[in-house]
Every structure is written in structure tokens, then in C-alpha cells.
């Protein structure tokens, strides 16, 4: 589980094979990836804030199922994985955001499905007896060998997040996506593994009733550290980079870790708040240039999360007034569905990463708080009405 003579950390690398071949540091999460992927026929949803490594996770899983252990030498997965290679289809739904008509959205969705599933053999014929695109897609899926296909959907929420300012188009796009998911659900026996990743939970709305068989692991304690770096991982995998930062800033290790926690840490994706992680993108940005100090890389690199931008633009200031002091909520509400123009503020802010679970008060009730200094800056901007 080591990386030999690693090159300096680099933020934004979402290609697992390129990261491994480039000898970049990879904090080994493959024991948890094995636990995620080992069960046959699993259908899973994982939500994390923006820039939290979701696409890199999807890329690692794609590599695992498509090429086996080719890119996993020296990692925990190497001694665990015994599964055969599968056909893999990966859909990036961020490519569907910002389309401003139902016709454009339908065309783009069908083109994406056709292009990505073509590698597995899907072909659409417009002359096939008037059978619709999704009916042909369903017929093709139903002919596959049981458990033969891996389907990975990255940024599943982005199309709808981009349409929060247009309720009619939001509904139309949701219905088109629902047709796709209905076909997937009807043929779930053909899937070896199905993963959806995103930031905001639109799955539970009436548009996605077809996805009621998907297991949401967003707040599952077992996978609480699947994405993001724990303090132990920082000290294990980035020891030389931390030492360079100490020297650049004149800080002790303890002082440095405390400052990193204050600015980039504090995230808990564990309903009992037993584990915490740092934002991986912000940590990597900092370690690449520690002499620049503790900047807000969240806003500088990616700006306001799309779902917060568009919700605020339509509904006005999102923030509840009581973000100071104890915020006690039912933990089950934090993954509650978001609808066009109607979202539970604490759920939306938690899903976007501005708030996080501080501690469990009693069973089923948790205390929320602003996650860290970066999140506090985002909250201030929201409070001022800026996006």
C-alpha cells in the first residue's frame, strides 16, 4: 500500500489510471471500494459535496470492473478482488446541464445513452417499426446476460440542479430521466453493479419513484471516510508534503493540522458523527502551494455549488436565521429530496457541504454546524445574496 517516490500532489485529477501511472499519491481507499463493489447486483447512491472526489471514485470503480487489478498494484484491493471483468458503461450527467428546451434535453439524453452504451453493443434504429428509443433500449438491456453489466452514473443531479429556475422544464427533464431509470429498474437483473453519485438528492422526488430499490449510503457510517482524507491518512500519505508546509509557514505539525482542520476539515458523513474528513481538493490545492497560505480554494476553484446558486436565484436568501448555536435536526431529513423551488434548507446546505453533522444528541437527532472556514465564506456569500 505504498507509492514509490510520489510526485507532488495534484488537485483535480479525476482519472484513476492516469493518477496511478503518473505516480501521484493515492490515499488507499480500496478496502472500502471492495466493500462497496463486492455484493452482486448492488444498486447504490452516494452523495458528497462538490470537489470531493466522486468522479475519481467512479473512475477507480470503472477501472476495477473493466480491467481488473491492472491499476491496483500495491493497494489493498490487490489481495481482495477475485471478480471477473465486466462490461462497463459510465454516464456523466453533468453534460446534460444548462439545456434550455425539452427537445434539446431529450436529444442530448438520448445521444449520451446511445454513445455510451454503444461500446456494450446498443444500437438504435429509427426505422424499427415505430418502437421508441427507450423501448428499444429496454429490449436491448433485457437480452443481456444476467449480472453482466456495470452502470455508473456520475453527477446524476446536475441536469435538474441547472433547471431550478424553470419549473416546467425541470418537470419535463425529470420525466425524461425517469423514463431512463424506469428501463434500468425493469432490467436490474442484468446489472452486476449500479452506482449513482451526486451532490443534491433529487432521487426521492416523484420524478424518480423508479429508483426506490437504490440503497442510499450517503450517511452510512461504514462508508463515512470513503471520500475525503482522515487525519491519519494525511499523516500517512502526505508526510513529506506536510513537512514542507510546516517549513514554509513556520508551524509545528500540531499547529498545521489544527489550521487545516479549521479551514478544510470537519466534514462528517456519518449519522453518528464518529468519523471526520478533510476536503480532498482543498487539501491538495494547499499542499501544492503551502507558501500561499490558507486560501479559500472552494470559492476560488469552483465557486458556489450549482444547486445553491440556482435555488437562491429563484427563492431568494436560502439561509435559516439560526445558524449560530445548536441546530438540532432529525438525521433522516438530511438526505431528504429536493424539489424545484422547495427544499428543506438544512438538507440542501448539508448536501452542499456548508453544514455538517457535529454530534449525535440522542438516537436519530443530530446537531449541525457550519463545516469549516471555507464553508463559512460560502454561507456569508449566500447570506449577502451573492452567488
Which of 337, 89, 119 lies closest to 195 in space, CA to CA?
89
The CB-side HSE value for 100 (13 A sphere, CA atoms) comes to: 1
Q: Is 172 exposed, middle or buried (0-12, 13-18, 19+ CB in 10 A)?
A: middle
Mean pLDDT, rounded, for 31-55: 93
Residues whose CB falls within 8 Å of the CB of residue 126, separated by 6 or more in sequence, listed in order: none
Mean pLDDT, rounded, for 186-212: 83
Distance between CA atoms of residues 258 and 255, nearest Å:
5
DSSP 8-state secondary structure symbol assigned to residue 6? P
Task: Give ranges for CATH 3.30.370.10 in the chain.
Answer: 16-218
Q: Among 3-12, 54-63, 206-215, 348-357, which is the least confidently predicted range?
A: 3-12
Residues whose CB falls within 8 Å of the CB of residue 170, separated by 6 or more in sequence, listed in order: 160, 163, 164, 340
SS3 content of the chain, % helix, strand, coil (to 5): 45, 15, 40
Checking if the pLDDT of 5 tops 50, the result is no
Note whether 377 and 296 are within 8 A (CB): yes
- Pick the more confident residue, 182 or 84: 182
Alpha helices per DSSP H over 118-212: 133-142, 158-161, 167-186
Checking if the pLDDT of 290 tops 70, the result is yes
Distance between CA atoms of residues 209 and 204, nearest Å:
7
| 43-71 CB burial, b ≥16 within 10 A, e <16 | bbbbbbbbbbbbbbbbbbbbbbbbebbeb
pLDDT value at position 126?
Answer: 84
* Confidence band for 185, pLDDT divided at 50, 70 and 90: very high
Q: Is 264 exposed, middle or buried (0-12, 13-18, 19+ CB in 10 A)?
A: buried
Mean pLDDT, rounded, for 106-127: 95
Share of the chain above pLDDT 70, in %: 89
Q: Kind of pairing, strands 191-198 and 215-216?
A: unpaired
Helix axes 253-264, 373-383, angle to 10 degrees: 30
Q: Which helix (H) or strand (E) holds 207?
A: none
pLDDT value at position 312?
Answer: 61
The residue ranges of DSSP E strands in the chain, in sequence order, are 42-47, 87-92, 149-154, 191-198, 215-216, 327-330, 355-362, 365-370
pLDDT value at position 56?
Answer: 96
Residue 362 in 3-state DSSP? strand
Mean pLDDT, rounded, for 215-230: 95
Q: Which helix (H) or strand (E) holds 76?
A: none
Mean pLDDT, rounded, for 35-49: 91
Distance between CA atoms of residues 66 and 63, nearest Å:
5
Distance between CA atoms of residues 51 and 278, nearest Å:
11
The pTM assigned to this predicted structure is 0.92
Distance between CA atoms of residues 309 and 98, nearest Å:
13
* Confidence band for 1, pLDDT divided at 50, 70 and 90: very low
Express each pLDDT in 345-379 by its tens digit: 888 889 999 999 999 999 999 999 999 999 999 88
CATH topology assigned to domain 16-218: Barnase; Chain D (3.30.370)
Q: Which helix (H) or strand (E) holds 146?
A: none
Amino acid at each position: 500500500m505504498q507509492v514509490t517516490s510520489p510526485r507532488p500532489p495534484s488537485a483535480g485529477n479525476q482519472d484513476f489510471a492516469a493518477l496511478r501511472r503518473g505516480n501521484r499519491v493515492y490515499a488507499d481507499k480500496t478496502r472500502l471500494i471492495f466493500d462497496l463493489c463486492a455484493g452482486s447486483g448492488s444498486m447504490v447512491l452516494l452523495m458528497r459535496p462538490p470537489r470531493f472526489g466522486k468522479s475519481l471514485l467512479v473512475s477507480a470503480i470503472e477501472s476495477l470492473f473493466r480491467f481488473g487489478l491492472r491499476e491496483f498494484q500495491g493497494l489493498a484491493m490487490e489481495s481482495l478482488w477475485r471478480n471477473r471483468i465486466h462490461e462497463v458503461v459510465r454516464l456523466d450527467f453533468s453534460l446534460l446541464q444548462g439545456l434550455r428546451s425539452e427537445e434539446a434535453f431529450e436529444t442530448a439524453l438520448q445521444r449520451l445513452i446511445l454513445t455510451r452504451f454503444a461500446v456494450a453493443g446498443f444500437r438504435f434504429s429509427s426505422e424499427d417499426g415505430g418502437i421508441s428509443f427507450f423501448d428499444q433500449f429496454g429490449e436491448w438491456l433485457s437480452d443481456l446476460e444476467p449480472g453482466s453489466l456495470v452502470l455508473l452514473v456520475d453527477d446524476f443531479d446536475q441536469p435538474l440542479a441547472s433547471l431550478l429556475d424553470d419549473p416546467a422544464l425541470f418537470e419535463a427533464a425529470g420525466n425524461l430521466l425517469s423514463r431512463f431509470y424506469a428501463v434500468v429498474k425493469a432490467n436490474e437483473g442484468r446489472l452486476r453493479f449500479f452506482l449513482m453519485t451526486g451532490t443534491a438528492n433529487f432521487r426521492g422526488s416523484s420524478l424518480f419513484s423508479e429508483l426506490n430499490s437504490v440503497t442510499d449510503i450517503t450517511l452510512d457510517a461504514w462508508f463515512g471516510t470513503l471520500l475525503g482524507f482522515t487525519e491519519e491518512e494525511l499523516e500517512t500519505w502526505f508526510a513529506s508534503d506536510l513537512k514542507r508546509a510546516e517549513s514554509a509557514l513556520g508551524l509545528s505539525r500540531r499547529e498545521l493540522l489544527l489550521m487545516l482542520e479549521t479551514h478544510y476539515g470537519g466534514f462528517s458523513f456519518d449519522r453518528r458523527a464518529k468519523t471526520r474528513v478533510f476536503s480532498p481538493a482543498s487539501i491538495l490545492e494547499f499542499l501544492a502551494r503551502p507558501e500561499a497560505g490558507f486560501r479559500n480554494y472552494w470559492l476560488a476553484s469552483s465557486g458556489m455549488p450549482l444547486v445553491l446558486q440556482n435555488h437562491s436565484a429563484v427563492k431568494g436568501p436560502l439561509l435559516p436565521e439560526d445558524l449560530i448555536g445548536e441546530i438540532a435536526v432529525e438525521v433522516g431529513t438530511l438526505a431528504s429530496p429536493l424539489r424545484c423551488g422547495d427544499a428543506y434548507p438544512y438538507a440542501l446546505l448539508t448536501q452542499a457541504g456548508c453544514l455538517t453533522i457535529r454530534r449525535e444528541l440522542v438516537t436519530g437527532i443530530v446537531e449541525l454546524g457550519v463545516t469549516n472556514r471555507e464553508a463559512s465564506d460560502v454561507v456569508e456569500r449566500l447570506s449577502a445574496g451573492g452567488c
